[in-house]
């Protein structure tokens, strides 16, 4: 595909804006349709980014013949059904993490991709962050063997708010969303499937109906282990922090920044064409469409993550 890739983006909230900002830096891609539930706010975002078509119904965007691909930044509970609808409409699709909030739905997305032959990718951004790419290249070059990952995913969300502190229309989830990042990244960095997984959780919030604290242990077939702590109760510092312990080095990743075990910063600016993980994720999606190939973080590649999450959910229930 040599022509401009025309994109519909669904979800004009915090993450949708991150994708729109990233796409601005990518040649040969144009967002032509914006979908979100609040028409007035959607029009405001569309005007800012020069997007000609606005709607509150994804079906309207899928009906546009010029749309080649869709990026879904909608509530988690809508991801699987919307991804399948895009594929069935003949559109390539990138669905933000998580692909689904159940294994059955994740498997249905993978089946729809196989039936369509189209590019279907999930936004497992940690595969693309320069900090994690740097570690991945080091492991791939045989210069580091991963022994252990220690990860902290901490937010302060005792009310139903999004990353911008705005009221949310849906409930986020520590297991099916935030743990998905680390479960997938651990297997990806270890280069080995997860063969053992354990989880415990704290009390369920009386209003939100979800556990606010969780602890997960993972073991890969090659012996590497991972400990993941998650909380919506933590009043700072906020974010996800990764410690890689290898056979000949320790590295700490804080978003796109990387440090060694002595807290000396490592320059990762030359790892890829951008320091923006979302932009790099989008670049991979569009490159896979142009080249007619499976993308990194395809729905098939990340399915094992959702198999692990399913097992953990069964334990917790």
Query: In whole angstroms, what is the distance from residue 176 CA to residue 201 CA?
Result: 13
* 170: pLDDT strictly greater than 70: no
- Residue with the two structure tokens 């911008």: 164
* Bigger pLDDT: 293 vs 210: 293
* pLDDT tens track for 23-52: 999 999 999 999 999 999 999 999 999 999
pLDDT at 158: 75
Enter the pTM of the model.
0.94
pLDDT at 236: 87
* Bigger pLDDT: 62 vs 162: 62
pLDDT at 173: 85
* Mean pLDDT, the chain, whole residue set: 95
pLDDT at 168: 57
* pLDDT tens track for 270-283: 999 999 999 999 99
Mean pLDDT of 291-309: 98
CATH superfamily membership of 5-123+277-298: NAD(P)-binding Rossmann-like Domain (3.40.50.720)
CA 18 to chain centre: 12
Query: In whole angstroms, what is the distance from residue 46 CA to residue 203 CA?
Result: 41
pLDDT at 162: 58
Domain definitions of the chain by residue range: 5-123+277-298, 129-271
Question: What percent of the chain shows pLDDT beyond 90?
Answer: 89
What DSSP line would sit under 93-159, residue for residue? EEEESPS-SSHHHHHHHHHHHHHH---EEEE-GGGTSHHHHHHHHHHHTTS--EEEEEEEEE-B-SS
- Supply 187's token pair: 């297997």
Nearest CA among 311, 314, 312, 317 for reference residue 199: 312
Half-sphere exposure of 30 (CA within 13 A, CB side): 11
Fold for 129-271, please state it.
Answer: Dihydrodipicolinate Reductase; domain 2 (3.30.360)
pLDDT band, residue 251 (cuts 50/70/90):
very high
Nearest CA among 310, 317, 312 for reference residue 101: 310
Task: For residue 94, count other CB atoms closer than 10 A to its CB.
Answer: 29
* pLDDT tens track for 98-145: 999 999 999 999 999 999 999 999 999 999 999 999 999 999 999 999
pLDDT at 160: 64
* 287: pLDDT strictly greater than 80: yes
* 259: pLDDT strictly greater than 90: yes
């Amino acid at each position: 595909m040599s022509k401009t890739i025309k994109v519909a983006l669904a979800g004009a909230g915090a993450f949708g804006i991150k994708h729109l900002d990233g796409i601005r830096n990518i040649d040969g891609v144009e967002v032509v349709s914006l979908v979100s539930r609040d028409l007035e706010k959607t029009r405001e975002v569309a005007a800012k980014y020069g997007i000609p078509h606005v709607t509150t119904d994804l079906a309207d965007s899928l009906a546009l013949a010029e749309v080649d691909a869709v990026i879904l930044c909608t509530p988690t509970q809508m991801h699987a059904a919307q991804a399948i609808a895009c594929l069935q409409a003949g559109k390539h699709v990138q669905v933000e993490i998580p692909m689904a909030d159940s294994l059955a739905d994740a498997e249905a997305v993978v089946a729809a991709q196989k039936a369509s032959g189209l590019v279907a990718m999930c936004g497992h951004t940690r595969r693309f962050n320069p900090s994690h790419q740097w570690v991945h290249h080091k492991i791939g070059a045989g210069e580091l063997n991963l022994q252990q990952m220690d990860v902290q995913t901490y937010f302060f969300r005792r009310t139903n708010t999004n990353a911008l502190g705005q009221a949310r229309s849906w409930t986020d989830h520590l297991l099916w969303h935030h743990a998905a990042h680390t479960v997938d990244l651990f297997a990806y960095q270890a280069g080995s499937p997860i063969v053992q997984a354990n989880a415990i959780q704290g009390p369920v919030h009386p209003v939100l109906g979800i556990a606010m604290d969780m602890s997960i242990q993972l073991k890969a077939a090659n012996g590497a282990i991972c400990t993941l702590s998650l909380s919506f109760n933590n009043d700072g510092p906020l974010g996800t922090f990764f410690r890689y312990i290898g056979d000949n080095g320790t590295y700490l990743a804080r978003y796109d920044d990387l440090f060694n075990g002595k807290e000396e910063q490592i320059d990762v600016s030359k790892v890829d064409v951008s320091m923006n993980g979302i932009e790099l994720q989008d670049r991979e999606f569009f490159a896979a469409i142009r080249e007619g190939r499976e993308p990194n973080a395809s729905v098939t590649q990340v399915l094992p993550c959702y198999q692990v999450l399913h097992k953990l959910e069964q334990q917790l229930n």
